[in-house]
């Protein structure tokens, strides 16, 4: 898994690629937590290049969503790959995330 | 034809396990989507073994056997960790408010959703999980 982070004035975008499983999800959660702890509560996860995601990735995303919602922030998803979309759907989590077709639209939604 | 893989129970082996399942799925003639579902079920099963049966990484091995037949893949996963009782795992609590949402237990839930058969047993100090996936329209 690789994560590229771009921080703008009001929003941080994390572009994730590769596999998000129990081996790599802690790193994703830690990078998200670091941003939240630093006061950035408007987050976008670009999931276009995620080849694989297990429930460990979903747990990291839900845990971050809970943290940012408590401080009136949000974690929004951009362009989830077909595999990510399937696990979100299997878990019934498509309705709790705000999902946008592109990174630009997710950023502009804040 | 049967293929076997034995790896130490560590999360950094999940990718290797996933590739092994992909190969077996191709041999059974399963399509990409079906193979992905098998990879997800096996990943979740192995994660549960490391977290719950072995209670940590590097504490025991995971043995995986794949039997590929035309249109059907049978995957058997064994470990020597603590006996696993699937009935003791609460279902994930997803139909609730975000704050009350518990995403633990998703692994087992995923396995049951994506596979045609999921059977756990414990015998002679080993947990054995048998997962079966049939190509759509194959078998029954």
Residue B28 is part of a domain; what is its CATH number? 3.30.565.10
* A75 neighbourhood in chain B, CB within 8 Å: none
**Nearest CA of chain B to the CA of A102: how many Å?**
24
Question: Helix, strand or coil for residue A34?
Answer: helix
Domains contained in chain B, number: 1
* A90 neighbourhood in chain B, CB within 8 Å: 110, 113-114
Distances (CA, A) of A40 to A13, A70, A80, B10: 11, 13, 22, 33
**B101–chain A Cβ distance below 8 A for any pair:** yes
Greater model confidence, B135 or A13: A13
B96: tokens are 């609730």
pTM, entire model = 0.93
**Nearest CA of chain B to the CA of A55: how many Å?**
6
B52: tokens are 């719950």
pLDDT digits (tens, 9 = 90+) for B63-83: 999 999 888 999 999 999 999
Q: Is the pLDDT of residue B139 over 50?
A: no
Which phi and psi (to 5°) does residue A106 adopt? -65, -40
Q: Is the pLDDT of residue B60 over 80?
A: yes
The arithmetic mean of pLDDT across residues B45-57, rounded, is 96
Residue B74 and residue B128 in contact, taking contact as beta carbons nearer than 8 Å: no
pLDDT digits (tens, 9 = 90+) for A17-52: 999 999 999 999 999 999 999 999 999 999 999 999
Q: Is the pLDDT of residue A105 over 90?
A: yes
Q: Domain span at residue B73? A: 2-134
In a domain, B139, yes or no: no
* B95 neighbourhood in chain A, CB within 8 Å: 92
**Nearest CA of chain B to the CA of A59: how many Å?**
6
B110, B111, B113: best mutation site toward chain A, by most A Cβ within 10 Å?
A: B110
Which phi and psi (to 5°) does residue A72 adopt? 60, 25
ipTM above 0.85, yes or no: yes
Least confidently predicted of B56-70, B73-87, B94-108: B94-108
In a domain, B69, yes or no: yes
Asked if A52's CB is within 8 angstroms of B12's CB, the reply is no
In a domain, B67, yes or no: yes
What pLDDT, on a 0 to 100 scale, did the predictor assign at position B87? 85
Q: Is the pLDDT of residue B137 over 60?
A: no
Asked if B40's CB is within 8 angstroms of A21's CB, the reply is no
Provide the mean pLDDT of chain B. Answer: 91
Strands (E), chain A: 2-7, 12-20, 42-53, 74-78, 98-100
What pLDDT, on a 0 to 100 scale, did the predictor assign at position B138? 53
Q: Is the pLDDT of residue B21 over 80?
A: yes
Kindly list the structural domains of chain A, giving each domain's residue range(s) and its CATH number in brackets, ordered by start.
2-108 (3.30.750.24)
Q: Is the pLDDT of residue A59 over 90?
A: yes
Of B12, B44, B92, the CB nearest to A54: B44
Q: What is the DSSP letter of A38?
A: T
Q: Is the pLDDT of residue B10 over 60?
A: yes
A vs B, Cβ pairs < 8 A, gives 67
Of A22, A59, A86, the CB nearest to B103: A59
In a domain, B140, yes or no: no
In a domain, B49, yes or no: yes
Confidence of residue B97 (pLDDT cuts 50, 70, 90): confident
Residue B97 and residue B38 in contact, taking contact as beta carbons nearer than 8 Å: no
Q: Percentage of chain B surpassing pLDDT 70?
A: 97
The arithmetic mean of pLDDT across residues A63-71, rounded, is 95
Chain B, 4 to 33: residues with Cβ < 8 Å from chain A are: 11-12, 14-15, 18, 33
Q: Percentage of chain A surpassing pLDDT 70?
A: 100
Confidence of residue B140 (pLDDT cuts 50, 70, 90): very low
A 10 A CB-CB count for B133 gives 23
């Amino acid at each position: 898994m690789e994560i590229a982070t771009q921080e703008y004035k009001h929003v941080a975008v994390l572009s994730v690629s590769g596999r998000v499983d129990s081996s790599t999800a802690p790193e994703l959660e830690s990078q998200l937590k670091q941003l939240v702890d630093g006061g950035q509560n408007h987050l976008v996860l670009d999931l276009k290049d995620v080849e694989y995601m297990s429930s460990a990735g979903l747990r990291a995303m839900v845990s971050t969503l809970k943290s940012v919602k408590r401080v009136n922030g949000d974690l929004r998803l951009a362009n989830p790959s077909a595999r990510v979309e399937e696990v979100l759907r299997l878990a019934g989590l498509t309705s709790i995330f705000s999902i946008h077709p592109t990174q630009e639209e997710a950023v502009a939604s804040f | 034809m049967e293929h076997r893989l034995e790896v130490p129970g560590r999360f950094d082996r999940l990718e290797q396990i996933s590739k092994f399942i992909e190969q077996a799925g191709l041999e059974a003639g399963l399509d990409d989507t079906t193979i992905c579902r098998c990879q997800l079920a096996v990943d979740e099963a192995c994660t549960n073994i490391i977290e719950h049966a072995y209670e940590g990484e590097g504490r025991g091995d995971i043995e995986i056997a794949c039997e590929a037949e035309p249109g059907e893949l049978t995957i058997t996963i064994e470990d020597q960790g603590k006996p696993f009782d699937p009935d003791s795992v609460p279902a994930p609590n997803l139909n609730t408010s975000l704050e009350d949402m518990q995403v633990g237990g998703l692994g087992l839930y995923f396995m049951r959703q994506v596979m045609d058969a999921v059977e756990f047993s414990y015998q002679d100090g080993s947990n054995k999980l048998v997962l079966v996936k049939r190509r759509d329209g194959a078998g029954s």
